């Protein structure tokens, strides 16, 4: 019995949807994309990525080494739970005229901690030289930082890793500018 293709309900700019699109692309899983105009992100994407890891173990998004696996989860959680939700649309709407400043401060604060962590864990990517769940979280968050005009100068490790990841095909094809619901003026 052939299994059905999974359906991904996605919004082109959603960090959460982008993380899942990267995971699907890395694992070579074909899926049907249903564009949805989301006004707020949710934290379910890490659960989806964990499910994909368990059902499609190659390529691995969590290292076999328990210490590295814990580092990957720590970085992914730091980004997905500690930075990204604070600059979500639903939060920014409450900030009024200070929304840009709020987003910049939240991202900069999170990136300061992340830069220190990555100085101890990074190789070519967030944890060593293999793409992991942490990297799936990093790239969309850097895009958010750029969108909110965060000065990336103080974060050379984050910037270097992001640049290396954006060269990978899975990150290119999952990029928001290449999604079917991306407005024409934002397409790559």
C-alpha–C-alpha distance, residues 103 and 109, integer Å: 10
pLDDT in tens, 47-59: 888 888 999 999 9
Within a 10 A sphere around the Cβ of 69, how many other Cβ atoms? 17
pLDDT for the residue 106: 95
pLDDT for the residue 41: 44
178, 187 contact by CB (below 8 A): yes
pLDDT in tens, 23-47: 999 999 999 888 877 554 455 678 8
Mean residue pLDDT of the chain comes to 90
pLDDT for the residue 42: 57
Chain centroid, CA 2 distance in Å = 31
- On whether the 7-186 domain is CATH 1.20.810.10, my answer is no
Residue 75: strand, helix, or coil: helix
101, 54 contact by CB (below 8 A): no
Chain centroid, CA 79 distance in Å = 8
Domain boundary assignment for the chain: 7-186
pLDDT for the residue 1: 47
pLDDT for the residue 168: 97
pLDDT for the residue 182: 81
Residue ranges in the chain modelled with pLDDT below 70: 1-3, 38-44, 188
C-alpha–C-alpha distance, residues 83 and 72, integer Å: 16
């Amino acid at each position: 019995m052939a299994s059905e293709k999974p359906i991904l309900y996605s919004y082109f700019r959603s960090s959460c949807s982008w993380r899942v699109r990267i995971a699907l692309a890395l694992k070579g899983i074909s899926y049907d994309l249903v564009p949805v105009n989301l006004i707020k992100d949710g934290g379910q994407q890490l659960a989806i990525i964990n499910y994909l890891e368990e059902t499609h173990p190659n390529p691995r998004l969590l290292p076999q080494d328990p210490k590295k696996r814990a580092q990957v989860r720590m970085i992914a959680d730091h980004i997905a739970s500690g930075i990204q939700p604070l600059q979500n649309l639903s939060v920014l709407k409450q900030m009024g005229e200070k929304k840009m400043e709020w987003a910049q401060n939240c991202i900069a604060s999170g990136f300061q901690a992340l830069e220190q962590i990555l100085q101890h864990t990074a190789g070519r990517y967030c944890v060593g030289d293999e793409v992991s769940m942490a990297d799936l979280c990093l790239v969309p968050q850097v895009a958010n930082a750029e969108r909110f005009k965060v000065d990336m100068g103080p974060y050379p490790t984050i910037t270097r890793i992001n640049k290396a990841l954006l060269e990978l095909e899975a990150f290119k094809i999952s990029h928001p500018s290449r999604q079917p619901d991306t407005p024409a003026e934002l397409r790559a």
